[in-house]
Amino acid sequence: MLKHLLLGVTGSVAALKTPALYQALSGSFEVKVAATDPALYFFDRRELPEGVLHVNADEWPRRDQGTSYQREDPVLHIELRRWADVLLIAPLDANTLAKLACGLSDNLLTCVYRAWDPHKPVLLAPAMNTLMWEHPLTAQHWRQLIDQYRLPAAPAGASADELVAWINQHGRTLAVIGPISKKLACGDVGMGAMAEVNDLALTVQALLFPPSSHTSRA
């Protein structure tokens, strides 16, 4: 049986790769997508199969009809958390990284994260402008995630790149697929682009299905 993977998509330009990333992942996982409203600016939702995409408005059924909450209504962020075996947020923009670090839950995706089962894996693939990546607050937010997951304290003064490496060294259920250096959509050149789609999909598979997890047969 395929593992259930929830792909969280946030408002980075890298969200334009969402349909391609969905295709790359769907061979190994059953995939659903939870997108923030800003993420929807960057890709055509019609490129995803019907029923795959979930958006903020889906948390509030019939609200556009003037109908209030009914006791039997499902709570979507809880339903998605129950369904998913793993949460991958790709791209993870600077704004959502800050929300995860501070515990804010003001949209569907951040509510899923806040309600997430700590025994299930979370994979984060950040994407942002180079100066945003190098901003001291980015390192601070990684440190807050290190504290959230009760990992050993990282060395003082560690950069965002060093903190990502620290998380990947010590994390059990948290892993980060770090950004790459390239010419960004804004024209700047430097670190901050989301990992390439095929590399990201292969890394997700390697993290979730390491060779040591397979038993050999004589």
Please check the confidence at residue 216 and state whether its pLDDT lies above 60: no
Residue 129, in any domain of the structure: yes
pLDDT in tens, 147-204: 999 999 999 999 999 999 999 999 999 999 999 887 777 787 777 889 999 999 999 9
Q: By three-state DSSP, how is residue 128 classified?
A: coil
Positions marked active-site? 186
157 located within any domain: yes
Number of domains within the chain: 1
Note the pLDDT of residue 215.
44
Count of helices and strands (H, E) across the chain: 8, 8
Q: What is the mean pLDDT of the chain?
A: 91
Sign of the dihedral defined by the CA atoms of residues 155, 157, 160, 162, in that order: negative
In a domain, 45, yes or no: yes
**Residue 218 lies inside a defined structural domain of this protein:** no
Question: pLDDT tens digit string along 12-51?
Answer: 999 999 999 999 999 899 999 999 999 999 999 999 999 9
Interaxial angle between packed helices 18-26 and 197-208, expressed in degrees from 0 to 180 and rounded to the nearest 10: 40
Residue 67 lies in a domain: no
CATH number at residue 22: 3.40.50.1950
What is the residue range of 141's domain? 3-61+73-210
Determine, yes or no, domain membership for 141: yes
The pTM (predicted TM-score) of the whole model is: 0.92
Q: Does residue 184 lie within any of the structural domains?
A: yes
Q: How far apart are CA 11 and CA 18, in angstroms?
A: 11
